[in-house]
Amino acid sequence: MEQVLEGTDILTCEERPRIWRYSYAAGPLRSKFLLHLRDDKKIMGTICPACGRVYVPARSTCLKCFESMEEWVQVSDEGLLETFTVVYASSPVYPEDRPFAFGIIRLDGADTGLVHRLGEIDFEKIRIGMRLKAVFEDKRRGDIRDIKHFRPVS
């Protein structure tokens, strides 16, 4: 690759991100997951009948053994932080005060991680393996943001 580019000026371009408004149908499976968040403050997943793997958010097909999954199970609203990132840069997509953090949380009873915002957290003390708990919005509307964020368990 270096030989191909030798003597060539490398061009870059910067473009301001455009915020596009769109909507999409969540489908029956994701809708059921979101309705449990909105109506019951419950985090539900689907369980594979062959290998027992629990997926949160719910999936219709097991990624490990490709079995169809129709059985629903409730998982805990607490779990372990598997990885995280702290965002310091400004972006029109995330207008919240910075810094803020996202993490992948493996909830107790689930075998997969859920990506979500971290809140009520000291950025100097975030660590992989810390226990987190879901904080639900008071007024829920039927989307993943019905979980306001995950906070450290005291």
In a domain, 72, yes or no: yes
pLDDT of residue 81: 98
| pTM of the predicted model as reported, rounded to 2 decimal places | 0.83
Better pLDDT: 24 or 131? 131
pLDDT of residue 154: 83
Query: Exposed, middle or buried by CB within 10 Å (0-12, 13-18, 19+), for 128?
Result: exposed
% of the chain with per-residue pLDDT over 90:
71
Distances 46 to 19, 60, 71, 112 between C-alpha atoms, Å: 33, 8, 6, 11
Q: What's the number of domains the chain is made of?
A: 1
C-beta separation of 64 from 48 below 8 A: yes
In a domain, 74, yes or no: yes
The whole-number average pLDDT for the span 88-108 is 85
User: Does residue 13 have a pLDDT over 60?
Assistant: no
In a domain, 124, yes or no: yes
In a domain, 12, yes or no: no
DSSP H or E run through 151: strand 147-152
The whole-number average pLDDT for the span 13-21 is 63
The whole-number average pLDDT for the span 93-110 is 88
CATH no. for residue 33?
Answer: 2.40.50.840
In a domain, 35, yes or no: yes
In a domain, 147, yes or no: yes
In a domain, 39, yes or no: yes
Name the residue range of residue 59's domain: 25-152
Mean pLDDT of the chain: 88
In a domain, 57, yes or no: yes
Choose among 37, 32, 38: nearest CA to 60: 32
Distances 91 to 100, 112, 122, 150 between C-alpha atoms, Å: 12, 28, 21, 22
Q: Which tokens in the block code for residue 4?
A: 């191909």
Q: Which residue has the tokens 């719910």?
A: 58
DSSP H or E run through 114: strand 114-118
